[in-house]
Structure 1
């Protein structure tokens, strides 16, 4: 899953910044459902950042992939329950399932997955790639017409960051792009 070190570090930075922004959104004064979604997205961002660390810098022990799989399986359960309510929860479920899949693949063949390629089930990897590529395109199109919500909370304190729909969509777009990058290198 890990490619060249420079692109790996860019992926780590992107996912960590996305996770940090999602934590900021969690602290906002939005509805409970929005805070839960932000928490799931923060977990996903930080998990993706940890999995994207270049292998030349740190190769996790073999048991770490099982921990990742268990963590994302636990994250998929609430998403499975909430998927009854809307499409975005279904996306969280697919994202968590993709992370479980990548963790299992890495646990099964860590030497090949660290840049050797050829790991995973090609049909499943291809289906996930198509899904996330479509998600990235759709989210990108939805991001274009969104106007900035300037000055909504008296000048943009920390509570205002969670109310910015264009930042939330950009956050989701960047995680979708990161997922495509991770799946491509699987």
Structure 2
């Protein structure tokens, strides 16, 4: 019985960003460091209250730095840093602003060089943001918004990776084949 051709494609697939020539650091170290900075920076911003304003400053510095460290093309990293930070500040508004979680997810997909078809996962946080306000009515329940939306965007990011593997996302890295001496 012949092997499944999709299984072969899935085993030979590699992250598009891992094929970029990096000017500094290793792929794995930059990915882990950048992701950690994004998570901690976002957590600091979302934990901000009137009594913890220094967290807003720390998070507002860490998050753009996290985007800068991630291995990707420089144009993609620069394009997402400030818009994502602005939408993260909007997330402080509670369940009514849960749709803002789709913006960091879209930025993640862009920086990770996911194919356009994988952006369909943005419907998950947007759909949840429509349902969520019926459950979360008070600002003190903000932890429900943060927790549920975080779980949804992490799941959506993994689903987008699965879609990229199935779609064989070689087309998402057209820019990698153009020129060899550009910034990482």
How high is the TM-score relative to the length of structure 1? 0.34
Larger gyration radius, structure 1 or structure 2: 2
Higher RCO, Cα 8 Å, sep 6+ = 1
From the two aligned structures, give the one with the greater helix fraction: 2
How high is the TM-score relative to the length of structure 2? 0.34
